Amino acid sequence: MPPDSRRDKTVVIHSAGSNTEAMVIRGLLESAGIASPGSSTTDPFPMAEAGDDFHSSDVIVLESQADKARKIIAEYLKSNEGIELETPEDSQS
């Protein structure tokens, strides 16, 4: 019998350096069939609320999918090692 996902806890599996990085990783996980909800608010300018267990840069998944998600994130981060983003100063040279 498949596990009941309604009873499965959510866990933070990665704390991204920015909200943008978190969104990219959530998209990567979702493309692999792993649900990773973002911030629970629909406010386009969310403010941190006392009592929140996670921040918008935290990537969370169901506990039953955590190991698979961690492997996907590790592969993604490894593939991006050494990549430098161009800064506005670089483009002016």
Q: Quote the domain boundaries for residue 66.
A: 14-39+55-79
HEC letters along 28-74: HHHHCCCCCCCCCCCCCCCCCCCCCCCCCCEEEEEHHHHHHHHHHHH
For the segment 12-66, what is each residue's pLDDT rounded down to a tens digit? 999 988 888 888 999 999 999 999 887 544 444 444 443 345 567 899 999 999 9
Q: What is the pLDDT of residues 68-78, one digit of tens each?
A: 999 999 998 88
What is the pLDDT, as a whole number, of residue 7?
Answer: 77
Six-digit token string for 34: 């792993």
Tokens of 49: 């609320």
Residue with tokens 């933070």: 12
Identify the band that residue 92 occupies on the pLDDT scale cut at 50, 70 and 90.
low
- Looking at residue 54, what is its pLDDT? 57
Q: What is the number of domains present in the chain?
A: 1
pLDDT at res. 38: 74
Query: In the chain, what is the greatest distance between 2 CA atoms, to the nearest angstrom?
Result: 61
25 within domain boundaries:
yes
Query: Does residue 85 surpass a pLDDT of 70?
Result: no
Is 28 a domain residue? Answer: yes
The pTM of this model reads 0.64
- How far does CA 38 lie from the centroid of its chain? 8
In a domain, 31, yes or no: yes
- 59 burial (CB, 10 Å; 0-12 / 13-18 / 19+) is buried
